[in-house]
Structure 1
Amino acid sequence: MDTGPVLPAPATASAPELVLRPWRDTDAEALLAAYRDPVLRRHTRVPVTNPAEARRWLAGTRADWHAGRRFSFAVVEPHPGEATLVANVVLKNVAPGTPGAEVGYWTAAPARGRGIAAHALETLSRWAFCRFGLSRLDLLHQVDNPASCRVAEKTGYRLAEVVPARPPFPRDGHRHVRWAPPPA
């Protein structure tokens, strides 16, 4: 069951066409395949190692949509007759009356290095500013993840500070910030 919008990300000179859509129960197998990647597991907090964990993860995304606090999108490359899961992007910590929220993402191993994370994050960021009237988005990652720094910088998230390690993250982190565009 879809619970949210579908966001198109047309192809650019440096990135393929993408579709950002709510996660579906039928994504469980693709989610498990993505989480077999040790790099992805190192940089995420919630393990997805078996079908039961995949079902819980997917049920959690639906519950978060309904609660209006966290909006996770499966990022897929459309192909005739099918679509390939390539990433996840999420808007989190959305609360009425607050000026900011946080974004996060991961890219499936076979899709890395193709501009997918930046393309999907740009689409999510524009949607978040427009849909929720936010003035600021934060992006956090551990310092041992230079690829996330590159994605942040490509999409207009500027390094704001180094954040000390705190559970569940064992290393210091970077906080990047992107400000809403001025009204047109």
Structure 2
Amino acid sequence: MAEAYRDPVLRRWAAVTVRDEAEALRWVRRQRDLWAKGERLAFAVLERQPGDGEGRLAGHVVLKAPHGAEPEVGYWTAAHARGRRVAPRALGTLTDWAFTAFPGVTRLRLMHEVENTASCRVAERAGYGFDTVLPAAPPDFPHDGHLHVRVAGVRGPA
């Protein structure tokens, strides 16, 4: 994970900073604690090569507040995995699972900064339609954002 976060593109859009292995371990422990509380269900996206035991980290997908009225999804992709539709496939898998695992969930939200056009493409490929522009809300959200939504049973562009 620390290796993935050396990528300046990932660091630009990521909500957290991971500078070294110690921070990566703290981040993983925090995800485990939030999973145990049912607040944030995070998954590593692994890329397997023949003869590769565990696989290489290609990205991450997350379902935030799965028991809420409108949970949010998020993701990131390691530099070496970009451009191969890793993120839309992983996000689509997470989305399908969320609608099955949490039957009361009928809408999922995905948010990103307006300038992050790659995230727009990922959202659309994973079936999340553009909904609205979200105004900046500093300090947590210093820039305008896009809200994309996916509704259970409705699949947008692939």
- Normalised by the length of structure 2, the TM-score is 0.91
Q: How far off is 1:55 after superposition?
A: 1.3
Which residue is 2:72 aligned to? 102
- 1:179 and 2:148 aligned: no
CA contact (8 A) 2:58 2:78 kept: yes
Question: What secondary structure sits across from 2:48 in the alignment?
Answer: strand
CA contact (8 A) 1:45 1:168 kept: no
Unaligned runs of 5+ in 2: none
CA distance in 1 between partners of 2:144 and 2:130 (Å):
14
CA distance in 1 between partners of 2:146 and 2:16 (Å):
20
Q: How far off is 1:94 after superposition?
A: 2.1
Question: What secondary structure sits across from 2:33 in the alignment?
Answer: helix
- 1:81 and 2:52 aligned: yes
Q: How far off is 1:52 after superposition?
A: 1.9
CA distance in 1 between partners of 2:106 and 2:17 (Å):
32
- 1:158 and 2:129 aligned: yes
Root-mean-square deviation (Å):
1.2
Question: What secondary structure sits across from 2:97 in the alignment?
Answer: helix
Identity %: 52
- 1:93 and 2:81 aligned: no
CA deviations over 1:36-74 (Å, ceiling 9, x no partner): 011111111211002221111010010011000101100
Stretches (4+) displaced over 3 A: none
The size of the alignment, in residue pairs, is 150
Question: What secondary structure sits across from 1:162 in the alignment?
Answer: strand
CA distance in 2 between partners of 1:81 and 1:40 (Å):
25
CA deviations over 1:125-183 (Å, ceiling 9, x no partner): 0000000111000000000100100111111111111001123232100000000017x
- Normalised by the length of structure 1, the TM-score is 0.78
CA distance in 2 between partners of 1:64 and 1:136 (Å):
21
CA distance in 2 between partners of 1:168 and 1:35 (Å):
20
